[in-house]
Amino acid sequence: MEEYIQSALEIVKAQANARPMTEDEIISMVKSVAQGIAAVSTGQIATINADAAAPAIDPKKAIKEASVTCLECGKSFKVITKKHLAAHGLTPEEYKEKFGYKKTQALVSKALVRERRAKMKDMKLWERRGKDKAE
Predicted confidence (pLDDT) at residue 107 exceeds the cutoff of 90: yes
Q: How far apart are CA 25 and CA 108, in angstroms?
A: 19
pLDDT per position as a tens digit, 28-68: 888 888 888 888 877 765 544 544 556 668 888 999 999 99
pLDDT per position as a tens digit, 70-87: 998 888 999 999 999 999
Q: How far apart are CA 60 and CA 71, in angstroms?
A: 11
Q: Which residues contact 106 (CB under 8 A, 6 or more apart)?
A: 113
**The whole model's pTM is what?**
0.54
Q: Cα torsion for 68, 72, 74, 79, to the nearest 10°?
A: -30
